[in-house]
Structure 1
Amino acid sequence: MEGEILDNIMGEIEFKQVEFAYPSRLENIIFKDFSLKIPAGKAVALVGSSGSGKSTLISLLQRFYDPIGGDIALDGVPIYKLQLKWFRSQMGLVSQEPTLFATTIKENILFGKEDAEMEEIIEAAKASNAHNFISELPQGYDTQVGERGIQLSGGQKQRIAIARAIIKAPKILLLDEATSALDSESECIVQEALDKASVGHTTIIIAHRLSTIRHADLIAVVQDGQVTETGSHDELMGNEMGLYPMLVQLQHTEQEQVKEKGDKDLSINAIDINDASSHRLSLASRTSSANSVAANHSSLCEEMNVEDKKLPAPSFKRLLAMNLPEWKEAILGCLGAVLYGAVQPLSAFTMGLMISMFFLSDHGEIKKKAKVYALSFLGIGLFSLIINVIQHYNFAYMGEHLTKRIREGMLSKILTFEVGWFDQDENSSGTVCSRLAKDASVVRSLVGDRMSLLMQTISGVTLACVMGLFLSWRLALVMIVLQPLIIFSLYTRMVLLKSTSKKAIKAQQDSSKLAADAVSNHRTITAFSSQDRILKMMEKAYEGPRKESVRQSWFTGLGFGSAQFLTACIVAFNFWYGGKLISQGYISSEALIQTFLILVSTGLVIAEAASMTSDLVKSSEVVASLFAILDHCTRIGPDDSNGYIAEEITGHVVIHDVDFAYPARPNVIILKNFSFTVEAGRSTALVGQSGSGKSTIISLIERFYDPLKGVVKIDGRDIKSYNLRTLRKHIALVSQEPTLFVGTIRENILYGALDETDESEVIEAAKAANAHDFIAGLGNGYETWCGDRGVQLSGGQKQRIAIARAVLKKPTILLLDEATSALDSKSEKVVQEALERLMVGRTSVVVAHRLSTIQNCNLIAVLEQGKVVEKGNHSSLLAKGSTGAYYSLVNLQRKTHNSTQSFK
């Protein structure tokens, strides 16, 4: 909160001799003496190959990092002197990979402007072409998007992210591949909206599609961390030897290839965007015709969820059975606990002797006995030390092995669960990781601590009662009879703690999920200065449980107070009765003190046991959720022993009469009576608007989900009859948002290997994906650390590694879901050629918004709202003329990229 706040922002940004390297790779210099001036109120585009440093500039401008050398200034003031929260509030960011939070669409848009009215939210959604699809959802703006927006398509997520930036009305607009995930129609509309939003604002645009930035006021070509060329489009095109004309020509060649192929069949006339409207299906009619299917599926989902939630808490017997391999340690631990249980009564007995010693009149006798009793205490202490070590070591050994066993069992089980299980709010990655990291370790207390407590209590109570009856049976009997009152009061305490622990655990799970979401999306939170909003959401998650805890604390306080009062009354009664026995000559004062201390120590043992029951109660609640995972029966098991093991497949895919809705949104039917065939060894492309069902089809082929009705067949066999793990060995997927694991680049590529793979094969796969050159240029080469979800690499670099991983697999069926969306023109051309070589002789299903990438596919299917409205090859679809949906898409994309016509 410290720093300057400018009264009037012009928006001029200047990078002055900036030097920078990422803290995790200091030896790899990204910028050295980098300088660039961005005039106020102008649109400046940054172009260049993936990894050249474009996105790094935006990270530096937002002060995610500080440069090693040089300065970055806003209106002449170095940004490190400005108040950081205020400075970031002046910028709106739309990044290459849209980041959404696990809350509603409305709440996600409000991250841009927390105090926005509903009208402003709707206007921002309309401006980003998101309002229509949001309105068609059952809950509209209150629809839950799921973790990282998993319930929405890539284009839908991107449009919500754009709405979040637009509602902010920022002085500086940062667009990092803002339209990369959109279809042609959406891109055209959203690009116009972004153009309007950027008028009068300083705008920095990063784009691989150069046609989208042709009208930028200034274009800067970034290569190897340096600005090699600057100027307007026309000025840069004037330098025929420059890098920019080469990039433009490269993209122009791709557009020409589409045009030449299409012109064989027809000449392109004026574009009418409305031509495609006649082919669109009404969502309302589709929803009404599918009501019965949705209702049946919804009730089925509810039944299955109820079954999951009614799982009983694990029995102590079951936990012991899991710890059976450590039976030797269990015996030693129990022996130690039994012996330790005797320590308290023996110590109390010695204490009684010590107190009675002071009633002696002979000082020599007192001194002599004091030495004996002191040595007795020392002996009890050493004995206690040895027994405690034996007891706790063995129980800890048991507990750690049980924790390890449960963690491994949970993880192996979770990895077999169907994707729909993760779509549920209670099974988000934050909650699951919390269970694995913290909850699994609680199990040890249920076995080790419970056994220790049980053995100590039985041993201590038994010995204390025997000793008390031997010393003074009258007093001992009275004290033993009164013990149940103490036990009753402590039992009341245990019940109260049990009821409050449920609320505490619920609050902890919700907050853990929110915290995990916040940490994983920290860049977006930082960019929008939403730290306070996240804290408010955290406070809201705790609000209900906090109120309930306050209410419960009154009952708990009364219970504790009553227990304490009852205990004090019992002690007073014991002294009164003991005094009467002494006055009547039945016992001596020494026997009174010894019996009282021994049996009171029994009460302390029980009290200690009761105080630990709260932890055991919490542990039982936690462990019940762990065992719910271990006992959960996955609906799509990858290791069905009765499944057909496919050593080889041809790749003939048939989707017949399929109805499908995502489990998290059972009332929204995505596919209805859908039928489609993918011929073996041929390439099939799926095109259409975002949300039309393209990625859903790929999910069904991978069997991430099962259809509500109908069947998906591969090689004439129902996909459900296969052993799924062996089937997926023949299928490779490159998705729209590349997923990398924490590890090295080599390890990430090797995820695609089925057998032992040598270094040469890894390198060949990287070369095929056009990744080898940039990997070799990194300081550690293939041993470079990728970071969490590949954060150390650019979007294009991550995508190429994901493609290399698929190449290494040598699949029979290749699924490409916008596989080249994150690549620059040069990389896209090379990777597209590599993919086309890879697709030869393989069954390929390609989802793409850029029609130039699928023009050579054997079959192209046009999808609209879950239906195939047209199919054929590129030429035959164009031959339908203006009445065809594909024709309209091609013309629309040409309109979007019409600037390429003058690029020659």
Structure 2
Amino acid sequence: MMLIKLQHSCRNILSALPNLTAITEAKSAAIRITEMIDRQQAIDTEDKKGKALSYVRGEIEFSGVYFNYPSRPDTPILQGLNLRISPGKTTGLVGGSGSGKSTIISLLQRFYDPIEGDISLDGHKIKKLHLKWLRSQMGLVNQEPILFATTIKENILFGKEGATMEEVEKAAKAANGHDFIIKLPDAYETQVGQFGLQLSGGQKQRIAIARALIRDPKVLLLDEATSALDSQSERVVQEALDHASMGRTAIVIAHRLSTIRMANRIVVLQQGRVIESGTHEELMQMTDGEGGEYYKMVQLQQLATLNDVANTPSKKTGGRSSYRKGTAPQSPFNMISSAAATPVMYPFSPAFSRSSAPLSAPYSVQYEESYESDDGHFTKEAYRAPSQLRLLKMNAPEWGRALLGCIGAIGSGAVQPINAYCVGAVISVYFRPDKSSIQSHTRVYSFVFIGLAVFNFFTNLLQHYNFAVMGEKLTRRIREKLLDKLMTFEIGWFDQDENTSAAICARLSTEANMVRSLVGDRMSLLAQAFFAATFAYTLGLFLTWKLALVMMAAQPLLIGSFYARSVLMKSMSGKAQKAQREGSQLASEAVINHRTITAFSSQKRIVGLFKATLEGPRKESIRQSWYAGVGLCSSQFLAAASTALAYWYGGKLLSQGEISPEKLFQAFLALLFTAYTIAEAGSMTKDISRGSNAVGSVFAILDRNTEINPDHSSAIDAIRTQITGHVELKRVFFAYPSRPDQLIFRGLSLKISAGTTVALVGQSGCGKSTITGLIERFYDPDKGSVYIDDRDIKDYNLRSLRKSIALVSQEPTLFAGTIYENIAYGKENAKESEIRKAAVLANAHEFISGMNDGYETQCGQRGVQLSGGQKQRIAIARAILKNPKIMLLDEATSALDTVSESAVQEALEKMMVGRTCIVVAHRLSTIQKATSIAVIKDGIVAEQGSHSDLLSIGKNGSYYSLVKLQGGNSPYR
């Protein structure tokens, strides 16, 4: 019995060895985690040291400041900057892209510390001040507004913890956001979506401004705070900001010089130094014959149209004919954006939350079940696991490895019964009276055991290696298919809450990897258990069929307990995965938006929200642990009970003389060890069941048919047919799939002749960007059609059509690669000379060449290593490289400084020759030379004609009102 116990103990130890892999992986992960936790921060947000001033005047001074970003230590940004900002005054910062304007704000908020020099607030070095207190005295509005995937109210509350609803509404009114918010279905409780994708650019910006104003800051930092707003909203918000700046120190970064004309002081930066400083009037007088830098910028931005406004008669005069279309019935949602925003991940997204309406069925990839939990009623995501046959078909190229793995499994399965047979024989040897016979027999069996060990080593290696390779290759194949499939989905699918970037990344990395457990691990376990059971049952029946039948009869109970446990774990894994995805999404947003979190000292708030998202997985894990414990306990009990039954019945047969001791031990051990093998296989069912549900979600994507197929083989090839670029929208009705009851277009018709330039204007959210989205066929109209060259775009092969269309969005999207690679995305197999030529035309070559690595400079995730203007010029170069027939420019120059904008606008105008160009603009100066201007209002084209034709309509005209709004604020009339 001692021998059996020892061998049993050894088996338990060996069965635990595979877990060493998980332990090693956990230790490796723990090392990385602890390194991050133990890392000493250069700028510690939680540092309790530092002084908090009892009163803040707001005097800021930069003294001999030198700085370059840690990621680019050889590229100087600020070079001995000396700058004094008077308290309670507004200071405007102007200069070329990359001149250091935004860097000044980053240093002031202590996102970084200068390499040399000092920055002081009211005479106190900011390094000596309490960091959280310092940041609490500042309100920041960035050029690219960052919102979190929560409600509008919660986003505004990021500016001030514990603020009342009255304060939230007051801040929203001050930012001109209250009116559009209360028109949303859930008002301030409206979910903004990941990265604020449910709102337009102007709406996001106004919420960001409200977030800054609610904290009543002593220092207001505005980095292009009104750049995304339409003319009317810009005027009202600018007035609100001017009012908010009174009595505060305000630092305003502006490319549009009209926004800082009234500043108390304007500072012109160049190569990290102050080259000019003074009021608007003073700087305009610095002519020096040719004029100072600021004077040149103003000259470049003068609006030729404003003189037209001053001289335009109030009544319609002669000239080229224009038309004004009827107005659609007024809707409370006509001010809500359809897709004016172009978020980083989702360029054309619905304007407001879908929370009030269920997801539309065509975009669902899962079936749902309901269940009760401690927190009430929830909906659980559950996915049908793919059949083993389907997985094997996908693994067909590795059939040779499957054959070798099965051969190894046959050998491994045979080892246990043979080993048990030999152990039983050895035990009977010890009962012999002849010592020499015992020694000779034990010597023989010792060599047999050594041989079995060697044989088992090679069979296990053959088995596990080949099945592991199978699993890894299948995982890679599925990941490739999954990403390829995702790239075919329509934009509407990505608008859904469950299809965030974090959830998709989880499917690509974690869930797709679990397919290995369904192929490699499952096949290995099943093959080994099957062959072991076959050999053991055959041997047991041959030795003593009565005992074998009793033990075999008990084993279904053991197998059944493990199966029930696996089914239970599978049914519970869906909710846990969904809860964990929520936490992953929040963590992903926190990392991406860490600058905004740092600026508003919201780390504790984010951590609190993250803890709340982890509460669900924690409770679910505890619940699963109880059920898993019960399942494991029952299986262990049945295993022990079946062993006890075998002992009792074997003893009975032995006492009756029906079997010999040797056959008893041989049959008993063979069947017992087989039961352990099945039990070990059963212990893996938790991982397999979890993997089965996870892989089911992956295959749900692979099986989903996209609503807009980009690879229609029988469709027309737009490149071969050489489209000319004639575009027409005929009686288009459109609503986003997530909110079908809210129409964006109500019979919109628009004709754009080939080779002409048509500008789309209108208030923020009127649907301008939605038109470009329909032309790109990101969505299909609900009614009506979009035609290119008199063919419905549904008749074209979508990939070939999009190769003839170039898009430059308001918020440029760059990838985490080099500048060269980002430009090369515009054209497959582009030559280096073509890429450099495109960069020159986009006014990007000069700043790229000035970088240490030139075109090999890394852009960073989402282009964080570059300024807004630099990113935009690279995006424009990418579009120019494409050499398209149709160009879509959605505020393409909004992020550029004056000098760059003029040069890029000139380059774009050259590119527009002979091409169909559709320009979306808030700044009317960028579209005054357009062939035709279309005013979008109430879901239709309200007016269309040339600039002069539309102005001739007079005061009652929508375009006239827009021009008047921009002209009224301009200092250049």
Q: TM-score range by the shorter chain?
A: over 0.9
Query: Could you give the per-residue CA deviations for residues 65-91 of structure 1, whole angstroms, max 9, x where no partner exists?
Result: 333333333344443444444433332
Distance of 1:383 and 1:875 partners within structure 2 = 91
Given that residues 50 and 130 in structure 2 are in contact (C-alpha distance below 8 angstroms), is that contact kept between their aligned partners in structure 1? yes
The aligned residue for residue 768 of structure 1 is: 841
CA 1:578–1:82: 2 relative to 1, 3 Å: farther
Q: TM-score, normalised by structure 2?
A: 0.86
The aligned residue for residue 57 of structure 1 is: 104
Query: Could you give the per-residue CA deviations for residues 446-468 of structure 1, whole angstroms, max 9, x where no partner exists?
Result: 11111111110111111122222
The aligned residue for residue 154 of structure 1 is: 201
Within the candidate set 306, 324, 330, 1:282 is matched to 330
Per the TM alignment, residue 721 of structure 1 is displaced from its structure 2 partner at its CA by 1.0
Q: TM-score, normalised by structure 1?
A: 0.93
Residue pairs, 1:301-700, within 5 angstroms: 302-305=360-363, 309=367, 312-359=384-431, 367-646=439-718, 647=720, 648-700=722-774
Q: Does residue 858 of structure 1 match 2:931? A: yes
Distance of 1:717 and 1:17 partners within structure 2 = 63
Per the TM alignment, residue 355 of structure 1 is displaced from its structure 2 partner at its CA by 4.6
Within the candidate set 721, 736, 745, 2:810 is matched to 736
1:733 match: secondary structure: strand
Within the candidate set 52, 67, 74, 1:6 is matched to 52
1:96 match: secondary structure: coil
Within the candidate set 153, 166, 174, 1:119 is matched to 166
Q: Does residue 167 of structure 1 match 2:214? A: yes
2:82 match: secondary structure: strand
The aligned residue for residue 787 of structure 2 is: 713
The aligned residue for residue 886 of structure 2 is: 813
Given that residues 13 and 39 in structure 1 are in contact (C-alpha distance below 8 angstroms), is that contact kept between their aligned partners in structure 2? yes
Distance of 1:287 and 1:9 partners within structure 2 = 42
The one-letter amino acid paired with 2:560 is F
Distance of 2:140 and 2:839 partners within structure 1 = 32
Per the TM alignment, residue 7 of structure 1 is displaced from its structure 2 partner at its CA by 4.1
Per the TM alignment, residue 710 of structure 1 is displaced from its structure 2 partner at its CA by 0.8
The aligned residue for residue 874 of structure 1 is: 947
Q: Does residue 199 of structure 1 match 2:273? A: no
The aligned residue for residue 272 of structure 1 is: none
CA 1:397–1:244: 2 relative to 1, 3 Å: farther
Distance of 1:244 and 1:383 partners within structure 2 = 90
The aligned residue for residue 894 of structure 1 is: 967
| Stretch deviating more after TM superposition (592-601 or 188-197) | 592-601
Per the TM alignment, residue 190 of structure 1 is displaced from its structure 2 partner at its CA by 0.9
2:740 match: secondary structure: coil
The aligned residue for residue 840 of structure 1 is: 913
Query: Could you give the per-residue CA deviations for residues 37-59 of structure 1, whole angstroms, max 9, x where no partner exists?
Result: 33333322211100111112222
Given that residues 340 and 387 in structure 1 are in contact (C-alpha distance below 8 angstroms), is that contact kept between their aligned partners in structure 2? yes
The aligned residue for residue 133 of structure 1 is: 180
| Stretch deviating more after TM superposition (827-836 or 467-476) | 467-476
Given that residues 221 and 244 in structure 1 are in contact (C-alpha distance below 8 angstroms), is that contact kept between their aligned partners in structure 2? no
Per the TM alignment, residue 306 of structure 1 is displaced from its structure 2 partner at its CA by 5.4
Query: Could you give the per-residue CA deviations for residues 845-892 of structure 1, whole angstroms, max 9, x where no partner exists?
Result: 111111111111111111223222222111111112211111111111
Distance of 1:308 and 1:484 partners within structure 2 = 34
Given that residues 112 and 164 in structure 1 are in contact (C-alpha distance below 8 angstroms), is that contact kept between their aligned partners in structure 2? yes
Distance of 1:370 and 1:36 partners within structure 2 = 93
The one-letter amino acid paired with 1:53 is G
1:672 match: secondary structure: strand
Distance of 1:195 and 1:242 partners within structure 2 = 34
The one-letter amino acid paired with 2:583 is S
The aligned residue for residue 235 of structure 2 is: 188
Distance of 1:243 and 1:57 partners within structure 2 = 29
CA 1:804–1:499: 2 relative to 1, 3 Å: same
Distance of 2:130 and 2:437 partners within structure 1 = 79
1:98 match: secondary structure: coil
Root-mean-square deviation (CA, aligned residues, Å) is: 2.8
The one-letter amino acid paired with 2:330 is S
Query: Could you give the per-residue CA deviations for residues 490-512 of structure 1, whole angstroms, max 9, x where no partner exists?
Result: 22222221122122222222222
Distance of 2:780 and 2:860 partners within structure 1 = 33
Query: Could you give the per-residue CA deviations for residues 332-374 of structure 1, whole angstroms, max 9, x where no partner exists?
Result: 0111112111222233334444555555566555555554444
2:74 match: secondary structure: coil
Per the TM alignment, residue 399 of structure 1 is displaced from its structure 2 partner at its CA by 1.5
| Stretch deviating more after TM superposition (145-154 or 774-783) | 145-154
Distance of 1:468 and 1:586 partners within structure 2 = 15
Distance of 1:354 and 1:206 partners within structure 2 = 89
Given that residues 500 and 549 in structure 1 are in contact (C-alpha distance below 8 angstroms), is that contact kept between their aligned partners in structure 2? no
The aligned residue for residue 271 of structure 1 is: none
Given that residues 141 and 212 in structure 2 are in contact (C-alpha distance below 8 angstroms), is that contact kept between their aligned partners in structure 1? yes
Distance of 2:505 and 2:938 partners within structure 1 = 36
Per the TM alignment, residue 178 of structure 1 is displaced from its structure 2 partner at its CA by 0.7
Distance of 1:122 and 1:287 partners within structure 2 = 19
Per the TM alignment, residue 822 of structure 1 is displaced from its structure 2 partner at its CA by 0.1
CA 1:583–1:815: 2 relative to 1, 3 Å: same
1:844 match: secondary structure: strand
Per the TM alignment, residue 286 of structure 1 is displaced from its structure 2 partner at its CA by 7.2
Q: Does residue 70 of structure 1 match 2:117? A: yes
CA 1:466–1:78: 2 relative to 1, 3 Å: farther
Distance of 1:499 and 1:80 partners within structure 2 = 54
Query: Could you give the per-residue CA deviations for residues 630-684 of structure 1, whole angstroms, max 9, x where no partner exists?
Result: 1111111111112111231121111111111112232321111111111221111
The one-letter amino acid paired with 2:636 is Q
The aligned residue for residue 230 of structure 1 is: 277
1:816 match: secondary structure: strand
Per the TM alignment, residue 775 of structure 1 is displaced from its structure 2 partner at its CA by 1.1
CA 1:199–1:593: 2 relative to 1, 3 Å: farther
CA 1:793–1:571: 2 relative to 1, 3 Å: same
The one-letter amino acid paired with 2:450 is L
Given that residues 658 and 710 in structure 1 are in contact (C-alpha distance below 8 angstroms), is that contact kept between their aligned partners in structure 2? yes
Distance of 2:919 and 2:801 partners within structure 1 = 19
Given that residues 683 and 859 in structure 1 are in contact (C-alpha distance below 8 angstroms), is that contact kept between their aligned partners in structure 2? yes
Q: Report sequence identity in percent.
A: 58
Per the TM alignment, residue 280 of structure 1 is displaced from its structure 2 partner at its CA by 9.2
Task: Structure 2: give runs of 5+ residues left out of the alignment.
Answer: 1-45, 316-323, 339-351, 369-382
The one-letter amino acid paired with 1:4 is G
Per the TM alignment, residue 285 of structure 1 is displaced from its structure 2 partner at its CA by 8.9
The aligned residue for residue 344 of structure 2 is: none
More helix per residue: 1
The aligned residue for residue 273 of structure 1 is: none
Per the TM alignment, residue 697 of structure 1 is displaced from its structure 2 partner at its CA by 0.7
Q: How many residues align?
A: 885
Distance of 1:211 and 1:542 partners within structure 2 = 48
| Stretch deviating more after TM superposition (660-669 or 692-701) | 660-669
Distance of 1:9 and 1:769 partners within structure 2 = 48
